[in-house]
Structure 1
Amino acid sequence: MTKARSQLVSLDATPYYHCVSRCVRRAFLCGKDAVTGNDYEHRRQWIEDRLFQLEKIFAIDIAAYAIMSNHYHVVLHVNSAVAEKWSTKVVIKRWQHLFKGTLLTQKYLKGNHLTQAEIDAVEDMAETWRQRLMDISWFIRCLNESIAREANREDGCTGRFWEGRFKSQALLDEKALAACMAYVDLNPVRAKMAKTPEASKHTSVKRRAEKAKASVKALQKPNLIDAQPKGLMPFAGNPRSNMPAGLPFCLTEYLELVDWTGRQIRANKRGAISAQEPPMLERLGITSTQWLTASQHFESRFKRFVGSVQALTEKAEALLLQKIPGIQACRELLTPV
């Protein structure tokens, strides 16, 4: 049974969500359609450009993304703390980058005289927009609607371009977040669209790898603290006291882990695991076998909520669920052995 989005997204449980949106009517985002012969590769850039445009407007960070032939993946982080600090004027300006706003809000930005009742109305509207600017449903809506319009215009047709409802999975802890990000970053490798993660076009791992490589070359030393591409949520290092905002991993360890995982996928040897496992797996407390299964089959093995058994149990109790969705897979793949 389909659940309301409000039951799937809860910032009290986690700010991280994996979202997937797919095309309908045999629509293509990229690649060549064997039936019509049309090449839609350029549409992948449409998605990438729009993603980073929206990241500048919303209080939502992009942790990972991969744009495939007829769908895309994105791991989002809702930064509600930042949105709550925005002034009324900042909220209105951000919203009016996307929509016209109202006559009152336009007057407010121009500094025109408003009555107290009008000011109250503006502030009420701004509060509504503030909530939308940290809402993943509005983020995906603003992304998909603009791409659909461009694609329909290019195809000379009307009608639905995307499936009506995007898929979302709540990532409840570090293990779930790391496995999901690797799953997203390695999509082109699994689909045989690229031989290596850093060669996979229109992915977050390619942007991260290129920036890190360029930074190391420029500095002539292996210091990747500043080697973080703009537009993507930065890596803040392993959890510690006084930790800055960012992903709870080391950039170098994550890139090494994704590279190692990609080699296992390409080698097509599930049973033959390298003895030299990346140190990040040891910190996460899961085996290489668990990791490879989780990072290669994230969508199919996990349900709406992904994390430790304890995190899933707490989430189910909060939502008054009699059964905990996907708890067996989480117990098998995300529980320390």
Structure 2
Amino acid sequence: MKRIRRTKVQGSAASYHCMTRVVNGERLLGDREKEVLRKMIWQVADFCGVQVLTYCVMSNHFHVLLRVPERQNVDDAELLRRYQVLYPKPTQHQTASVKVLRSQLAEDSEQADELRRKLLARMGDISEYMKAVKQRFSVWYNRNHNRYGTLWADRFKSVLVEGKGNALQTMAAYIDLNPVRAGLAEDPKDYRFCGYAEAVSGVSEAVEGLRCIWADHDSNPLRAHRLLIFGKGSAASLKGGAVIERDEALRVLEQEDGLLPKAAILRCRVRYFTDGAILGSSEFVRSYTKAWQMERQRRHPPKVNRLKGAEWGDLAVIRGLRKTVFS
């Protein structure tokens, strides 16, 4: 499988929205499968040293918003703790027990250094994180359903998100509103397979994710996030409910050349949040145009494209969408 290139953020933490689909879009994930995948999302994040800000598991795909910290040195004690999180006992894929690994790392040898290097290479990287989640879940799913072969579509999509303020908050709300868009819940707090629902129920890691998302805005992150999700009631006035239909959104935006409340448009499937490549303020996006151009060996630098259709503030993306912003 071809490795997907990622725009790197040097010298600072970076936030990414990652999304991947089940092969052929099949709806294979019931409540049991979603629960297992939910646990793996958190488990692998602990091993990789990345922070899950929020996530949502659906029947044929999942989203996760990750904060990847600056690459730091991890001492042997932390390396062993993380290893035990992912491999509490030997398996056919990882035969070394924690006791054996501790003994190997204690040796002052080239073999020990190589072992550290291999483990550290799997940490602090979104590609390695998504690879581990997808592989571990595929093994579990196929074993429990007498199934063989690929479970996930080959590639996952990722968007580099400005790590604070409007961009991060809007992306998080878009992810948490997935069950509302799918008609599975009127309120995402009632859908247990998303980060917002876990935060409402008091799960510490999920609450900390919301605190990170709203760090520069509000002392009560749950309240701030809920106000964005429901738009202080503005979305409820559209179509008599919380969800605005795609055709209605297109009519307002394209035929009437109007704007919709942000909370209402977030209830549509907006391609900016999965296909925009880089999402943030115009200044943030502009700062990565050269790196993006060099990575993809483009002759001309990309344009900074302001988001359309709602009062997005200063949000922009690096990849202009030739077709409608809705999918």
TM-score, normalised with respect to structure 1: 0.70
1:70-85 matches, cutoff 5 A: 70-80=60-70, 84-85=72-73
What is the match of residue 5 of structure 1?
4
Q: Does residue 1:318 correspond to 2:295, yes or no?
A: no
Displacement of 1:108 in angstroms is: 6.0
133-142 or 262-271, which deviates more: 262-271
Which residue is 2:34 aligned to?
44
Q: Which residue number in structure 2 is paired with residue 230 of structure 1? A: 205
The residue type paired with residue 15 of structure 2 is Y
2:167 touches 2:280 (CA, 8 Å); kept in 1? yes
Does 1:299 find its partner at 2:271? yes
- Write the letter of the residue equivalent to 2:201: E
Deviation at 1:49, TM superposition (A): 1.3
**What code does the residue aligned with 2:65 have?**
V
Q: Is the 8 A contact 1:19 1:73 kept in 2?
A: yes
> Superposition pairs for residues 162-177 of structure 1, below 5 Å?
162-173=152-163, 174-177=165-168
Distance 1:201 1:60 in 2: 22
Q: Which residue of 2 aligns with 1:16?
A: 15
DSSP 3-state at the match of 2:31:
coil
Distance 1:88 1:10 in 2: 26
Name the structure 1 match of 2:122: 132
Aligned amino acid, residue 16 of structure 1: S
Aligned-partner Cα distance in 2 for 1:188–1:141: 24
**What's the C-alpha RMSD, in Å, of the aligned pairs?**
3.8
* Residue correspondence of structure 1 range 42-121 to structure 2 within 5 A: 42-80=32-70, 84-95=72-83, 97-98=85-86, 109-110=102-103, 114=107, 116=108, 118=109, 120-121=110-111
Which residue of structure 2 aligns with residue 154 of structure 1? 144
Shift, 1:167, TM fit: 0.7
Given the superposition, is the C-alpha separation of residues 312 and 258 from structure 1 closer, same or farther in structure 2, using an over 3 Å criterion?
same
Partner of 2:185: 194
* Deviation by residue 1:129-163 (Cα, 9 ceiling, x = unmatched): 22321111111111111111122123322111001
Task: Give CA-to-partner distance per residue, 1:185-232, whole Å, 9 cap, x none.
Answer: 010011111011211231111111222xxxxxxxxxxxxxxxx62355
CA distance in 1, matches of 2:52, 2:14: 12
Q: Is the 8 A contact 2:22 2:152 kept in 1?
A: yes
For residues 107 and 209 of structure 1, what CA distance do their matches in structure 2 show? 41
Is residue 2:211 matched to residue 1:239?
no
- Would the aligned equivalents of 2:231 and 2:261 in 1 still touch at CA under 8 Å? no
- Give the SS at the match of 1:160: coil
How many residues in Structure 1 have an aligned counterpart in Structure 2?
Answer: 286
The 5 Å alignment of 1:262-277 reads 264=235, 266-268=241-243
TM-superposed deviation, 1:5: 3.2
Deviation string 1:8-39 (CA, Å, 9 cap, x unpaired) is 34355761000111001454343xxxxxxxxx
Query: Per-residue CA shift, 1:303-334, capped at 9, x if unaligned?
Result: 11111222111101233352426624379764
Q: Is the 8 A contact 1:20 1:73 kept in 2?
A: yes
Percent identical among aligned pairs is 19
- Once structures 1 and 2 are overlaid, which stretch shifts more, 51-60 or 84-93? 84-93
Aligned partners of 1:308 and 1:330 also within 8 Å = no
What is the SS of the residue equivalent to 1:230? helix
In structure 2, distance between residues paired with 1:57 and 1:248: 29
Secondary structure of 1:5's aligned partner: coil
Equivalence for 2:324: none
Aligned to 1:220: none
> Hey, what does 1:251 align to over in structure 2?
222
Deviation at 1:88, TM superposition (A): 3.1
Give SS of 1:20's match. Answer: strand
- Asked if the contact 2:17–2:158 (Cα under 8 Å) also holds between the matched residues in 1, the reply is yes
The separation in 2 between residues aligned to 1:300 and 1:112, in whole angstroms, is 45
Shift of the alpha carbon at 1:165? 1.0
TM-score (norm 2): 0.72
**Structure 1 unmatched ranges of 5 or more:** 31-39, 212-227, 241-246, 273-286
